[in-house]
Amino acid sequence: MDRRSNRRSFVKNAGLAAAAVGGSATIAAPAIAQSAPELKWRLTSGFPKALDTIYGGAERFAKAVSEMTDGKFQIQVFASGEIVPTPGVVDAVQNNTVEMAHTASYYYFGKEPTFAFGAAVPFCLNSRGQNAWFYYGGGNELMNEFYAKFKMIGFPGGNTGAQMGGWWRKEIKTVADMKGVKFRVGGFGGAVLAKLGVVPQNIPGGDIYPALEKGTIDAAEWVGPYDDQKLGFDKVAKYYYYPGFWEGGATLHVFCNLDKWNELPKAYQAVIKTAAAYANVDMQAQYDALNPKALRELVGRGVQLRAFSNEILSACYDAAQETCKEMGEKSADFKKVFESVKAFRNEEYLWFQVADGTYDNFMFAQQRAGKLNQ
């Protein structure tokens, strides 16, 4: 076989890279299928089926794994509560009740605060910064060193982008307005807001609407316009705040039981990593495509869009730094990871304000002036 024929054969059989771009590649039989075992694993999601964005990320991940292994590696996805509820996901993976999970690691902040860094910590990195830190800033290595203590390994498998600041029954103009408000917000964000007098309520996604409707809570946050519209929050609260500073770029993870991971052929490990990377990019793209229309529709139905005041954001920033310091004093793992994130954050925002920041600010002005449709 000449060199050109050899090269054509290699390109024909190299399906892995294509999956990261389009998610629909199929590995040619000589590459994997002939020597690959047939596996059927179960994956529990931390989200309900109604959310085609976040829950759908797990389905797209599983589909990519199947296609890249010619159907030999099948992963069945279960919604939250079908096998275990969201709070039990880490225990289920750790104990091998299920081989895999797709969830936000900050849900398990109560087990150990370091879990928050796998998803989002208030006033830390945006989605691009998260990806840069995970893939090239040592983030994956640091977090997997931590996850190993819970017999898991994880890979970024989705991102929502910067989230909204939630639905409030009344206007929130000052820090004093926040005191005593019962606010559905999870994990680290709740710990920060509690310093300002907010009463955090950790309620699963499917239970938020009835709690807000009945007045059990005064405000609630979930993700952003597309998901929030599907959940109907605009029917029970009219003030929609931004930004959700506790989630500047919330990462979802694909988790795998560490023993099961170590048993996998190297080719299957590569497939999981590639499919997770595809799901990571795909989710952010989906949200960015769906949120603009949803936001317009919500505002068209009378929703009052409001920005948190600088007073509130500054007070929350100071509270977040104080909370991180306290957590670092209690947890060596937290302190170690936070030092890495802090250094990376400083460099990222130095860079982002130069090219991207200048370009975006100019384009924002053109959009406000109505020039982008000319």
CA 356 to chain centre: 22
* pLDDT surpassing 80 at residue 9: no
What pLDDT score does 229 carry?
Answer: 97
Give pLDDT tens digits for 352-364: 999 999 999 999 9
* pLDDT surpassing 60 at residue 306: yes
Give pLDDT tens digits for 214-251: 999 999 999 999 999 999 999 999 999 999 999 999 99
Quick check: pTM over 0.95? no
Give pLDDT tens digits for 124-166: 999 999 999 999 999 999 999 999 999 999 999 999 999 999 9
Q: Which three-class secondary structure state does DSSP give residue 226?
A: helix
CA nearest 186: which of 206, 164, 201?
201
Q: Could you give the C-alpha distances from 214 to 138, 207, 225, 228, in angstroms and in order? A: 45, 11, 22, 18
Q: How confident is the model at residue 34 (pLDDT cuts 50, 70, 90)?
A: low
* pLDDT surpassing 60 at residue 15: no
* pLDDT surpassing 50 at residue 3: no
The domain segmentation of the chain, as residue ranges, is 3-159+249-288
* pLDDT surpassing 80 at residue 350: yes
Torsion angle of C-alpha atoms 229, 278, 159, 123, degrees rounded to 10: -160
What pLDDT score does 203 carry?
Answer: 86
CA nearest 250: which of 47, 106, 102, 51?
106
**Span 75-87, average pLDDT:** 96
Helix (H) or strand (E) holding 173, with range, is none
Contact criterion met (CB below 8 Å) for 279 and 157: yes
Residues 6+ apart with CB under 8 A from 348: 125, 128, 129, 132, 133
* pLDDT surpassing 70 at residue 190: yes
Q: Tell the residue number behind the tokens 């979930």, with chain if given.
A: 222
Q: Which three-class secondary structure state does DSSP give residue 39?
A: strand
Residues 6+ apart with CB under 8 A from 86: 46, 47, 80, 103, 107, 204
* pLDDT surpassing 60 at residue 17: no
What pLDDT score does 4 carry?
Answer: 42
Specify the DSSP class assigned to residue 163: B
**Span 176-203, average pLDDT:** 94
Q: Could you give the C-alpha distances from 102 to 107, 139, 161, 369, in angstroms and in order? A: 12, 18, 17, 41
Q: What is the CATH number of domain 3-159+249-288?
A: 3.40.190.170
Give the integer Cα–Cα distance in Å for 103 and 58.
Answer: 9
Give the integer Cα–Cα distance in Å for 135 and 131.
Answer: 6
What pLDDT score does 24 carry?
Answer: 44
What pLDDT score does 253 carry?
Answer: 98
What pLDDT score does 204 carry?
Answer: 79
Q: Could you give the C-alpha distances from 56 to 52, 75, 174, 226, 353, in angstroms and in order? A: 4, 14, 38, 14, 33
**Span 169-195, average pLDDT:** 95
Give pLDDT tens digits for 262-276: 999 999 999 999 999
Specify the DSSP class assigned to residue 198: -
Q: Tell the residue number behind the tokens 């069945």, with chain if given.
A: 76
What value does the mean pLDDT of the chain take? 92
